[in-house]
Amino acid sequence: MVQELKYLKETASQTAGPYVHIGLTPNFCGIGGVYESDLGASMVNDETLGQRITVTGRVFDGAGAPLKDALVEIWQADAAGLYNSPSEMRGTADPNFTGWGRCPTSAEDGAFVFETVKPGRVPFKDGRLMAPHITFWIVARGINIGLHTRMYFPEEAAANAEDPLLARIEHRQRVETLVAGGEPPNYVFDIHLQGERETVFLDI
């Protein structure tokens, strides 16, 4: 006999459904007066350090139609490469930057928009620097478990070329699915759930 490994099992995921906005962005869907503002609607203020950027995009299904009922969350380092999190041990992040944003995709054209700053580089586990990136998490009706991915920056070709995560992508033509389009400071990051241009999603 050996000692038992008594671990609990993670609660199973379920789809966020079509009415995710009621719970996570109630003001956006017309339920006013419960919360002052929707959580994650603003990441920056007038004091935030770094280069202001805009990240916009859409989430497409396997038939090429944009999802008009999805919810996107992002998480990123500040301009100096520090996370505004208690688990950040390398220093203190910019107190005027939340690092986290939440945006529903538009019911008209499916677009999401984040006003944020360009993140600094952060280290991989072996100390090598990763290229600047923003972590994305996507939920929606029809998505049974939230999808993790990352957005990288088109003007960071040298850093992207040595990025440890991008280097893991076996089919090299898929690397570009994680690199935003557009020009600094206005980036476009389209996410394709399925098909020819399918975005690389992470089990992380």
Partner 1 sequence: MSDRQDTRPETGAFFARDRNLHPPALAPGYKTSVLRSPQRALLSLDGTISEITGPVFGHSMLGELDNDLIHNFAKAGESAIGERIIVHGRVLDERGLPVQGALVEFWQANAGGRYRHKKESYLAPLDPNFGGCGRTITDENGYYFFRTIKPGPYPWPNGVNDWRPAHIHFSIFGHGFVQRLITQMYFEGDPMIWKCPIVNTIPDRGAIEQLVAALDWANTIPMDSLAYKFDIVLRGRRSTLFENRPEGN
- The residues in 65-104 that bind partner 1, with binding defined as CB under 8 A, are 65, 67, 69, 73, 75-77, 83-89, 98-100
Nearer to partner 1, 183 or 197 (CB): 197
Site string for partner 1, 1-20 (x = CB under 8 A): -----xxxxxxxxxxxxxxx
Nearer to partner 1, 1 or 63 (CB): 63
- Asked whether the beta carbons of 189 and 112 are under 8 A apart, the reply is no
Q: Out of 49, 61, 115, 156, which residue is the one contacting partner 1 (CB under 8 A)?
A: 61
- Nearest residue to 58 (alpha-carbon basis) of 7, 109, 21: 109
Beta bridge partners of 35: none
41 binds partner 1 (CB under 8 A): no
Give φ, ψ of 99 to 5 degrees: 80, -15
**Min dist. Cβ of residue 126 to partner 1 (A):** 6
Q: Which of residues 126-185 bind partner 1 (CB under 8 A)?
A: 126-127, 130, 133, 135, 137, 139-148, 150, 165, 168-169, 174
**What whole-number distance in Å separates Cα of residue 185 and Cα of residue 14?**
36
**What whole-number distance in Å separates Cα of residue 187 and Cα of residue 116?**
11
- Sign for the pseudo-dihedral over CA of 43, 54, 155, 151: positive
Nearer to partner 1, 39 or 49 (CB): 39
Nearer to partner 1, 47 or 86 (CB): 86
- Nearest residue to 102 (alpha-carbon basis) of 132, 139, 133, 68: 139
115 binds partner 1 (CB under 8 A): no
**What whole-number distance in Å separates Cα of residue 141 and Cα of residue 144?**
8
Nearer to partner 1, 45 or 183 (CB): 45
